[in-house]
Chain A
Amino acid sequence: MDNLLLQKRTWALPIRALWLALACLFVLSLTTAGALALGEFGIPLPVLLEALMRDDGSDAAFVIRELRMPRLLTGMLAGGALGLAGAIVQSITRNPLGEPGLLGVTSGAAFAMALCMTYFTLPTPTMLLLSTVGGITAALLTLSISLGARLNPLYLTLTGMSVNLFFAAAIIVLLICANVEANGIYYWLTGSLINRTWEHVHLLWPWVIPALLLGIIFAGKLDLLRLDDEVLVALGMRVTPWRLLFGVVAVLLAAATVAATGPITFIGLVAPHLVRFTLGANGVRHRHLLPLSALVGASLVCAADLIAKWHEVPVGILCVLLGGPVLVYLISRQEG
Chain B
Amino acid sequence: MKNYLKLVHFEVNRFFKLYVIIMGLTIVSQIIGVIFESKAYLENTKRIMFENQLSFSEFIGEGYRGSPFDQFVNSGWALLPVFMCIVILMLYVFFIWYRDWFAKNTFIYRLLLLPTNRLTIYFAKMTTILLFVFGLIALQLILIPIELQIMNGIIPVDYRTNFSIYELFYFDLWTMLYPTTFMKFILSYGVGLICVAVLFTSILIERSFRLKGIFFAIVYGVLSFFVLIVPIFLMSLYPNYFYPLELLTIAFIISSIVLGIAIWLASYLLKYKITV
**A and B interact:** no
- Report A's interface with B, CB cutoff 8 A: none
